[in-house]
Amino acid sequence: MMTKISTASMSREDWLAERRHSLGGSDMGAVLGLNRWASPYSVWAEKTGRLPPKEDNEAMRQGRDLEEYVASRFTEKSGKQVQRMNYLLRNDEAPYLHANIDRRILGERSGLECKTASALNLKTYAGGEFPDSYYVQCVTYLTVTGWERWYLAVLILGKGFQVYQITTIEGDAVPEWCESSVYVSQAEMDALKSGAKRFWEEYVLPDQAPPADGTEATGDAISTIYGEDGGGGVQLFGRESMLREYFYMDSKVRELQKDMETIKQTIQQDMGEAAEAACTGYSVTWKSQSRATFDAKQFAKDHPHMDLSAYYKTSKFRVFKIKEDKAS
């Protein structure tokens, strides 16, 4: 059975709190390792209340402000009428998932996801392709709603507007206004539900953190949760082999960095004063640039009576170091 939770009069705080009770489309992309901005660990930390709400940024603001424009461009291109849906949707058949959709398409069992992308990502959408994380998001919504199709409309700022179809109908026709169409099987949606169930029951419910995975998102989450040290110490029982491996890999990284630097220096010698170089399959540039920086120390020295304390920003962070005990 489908449950609709109205978000029309919800505060942002209440909306975020409601979302913490299950996994949304972008969450599933992270759980499956397909979201560059989040990871299984950061999703777990968010769902268990360990992370503060994400700070708003310019990209997020533009995405919200341009959502209505993207929806209207979709209607213009497809001829389909859309409607805002101010509900958070849950389905008893997928209890660990929710759908907070951008638009429903009137007269059919379909939805629309609106995205805004930087012009620098134009190649990402070439040849009918689009990010895997967006695909997982649309599949999540299909799984929760039980609808037949989802359309992904992407505004590439200053470069183009493209629409993609994600469908549960095998052999579905591809509209001429779509860049491509991807079929989603029931088995794939069942696998998505199983993945959500496994993540929720293995990590969220028992409050057990997922393993570290080396991603930036996990590192940022750990640094936020453990932002300040509390003093004291711990014994890292059984971590000896892991630390030995760390130093072995560190030595290999330094060897690779030296080899890369040797290649770089050799090419620089070949180029001399040339700004550009090329050989079959490769191009190289080595161009002059200039950058102006503010010398705060010199400014303070030249203006000894000026109080500059209000212009200095103090931030706290923890420095992580591993040292090898040569004596042992």
Domain borders along the chain are: 2-225, 239-271
The whole-number pLDDT of residue 270 equals 94
Of 142, 123, 122, 144, the C-alpha closest to 182 is 142
Confidence check: pLDDT of 63 > 90? no
Rounded mean pLDDT of 265-271?
95
- Contact (Cβ atoms closer than 8 angstroms) between residue 179 and residue 197: no
Tokens at 310, concatenated: 């209000």
Instruction: Summarize pLDDT for 244-262 with one digit per residue, the tens.
Output: 999 999 999 999 999 999 9
Instruction: State residue 115 phi and psi, 5-degree precision.
Output: -130, 150
What's the pTM?
A: 0.84
Q: Answer yes or no: CATH 3.90.320.10 is held by domain 2-225.
A: yes
Q: Which distant-in-sequence residues (6+ apart) come within 8 Å of 25 by Cβ?
A: 99, 100, 113, 136, 137, 138, 140, 141
- Contact (Cβ atoms closer than 8 angstroms) between residue 149 and residue 173: no
Under DSSP, is residue 165 helix (H, G, I), strand (E, B) or coil? strand
Q: Which distant-in-sequence residues (6+ apart) come within 8 Å of 16 by Cβ?
A: 53
d(CA 287, CA 273): 9
Instruction: Summarize pLDDT for 186-211 with one digit per residue, the tens.
Output: 999 999 999 999 999 999 999 999 99
Report the mean per-residue pLDDT for the chain.
Answer: 92
d(CA 245, CA 41): 23
Q: Which distant-in-sequence residues (6+ apart) come within 8 Å of 148 by Cβ?
A: 108, 109, 110, 142, 167, 168, 169
Element (H, E) at 278: strand 276-279
Terminal alpha carbon distance of the chain? 63
Of residues 299 and 258, which shows the higher confidence score? 258
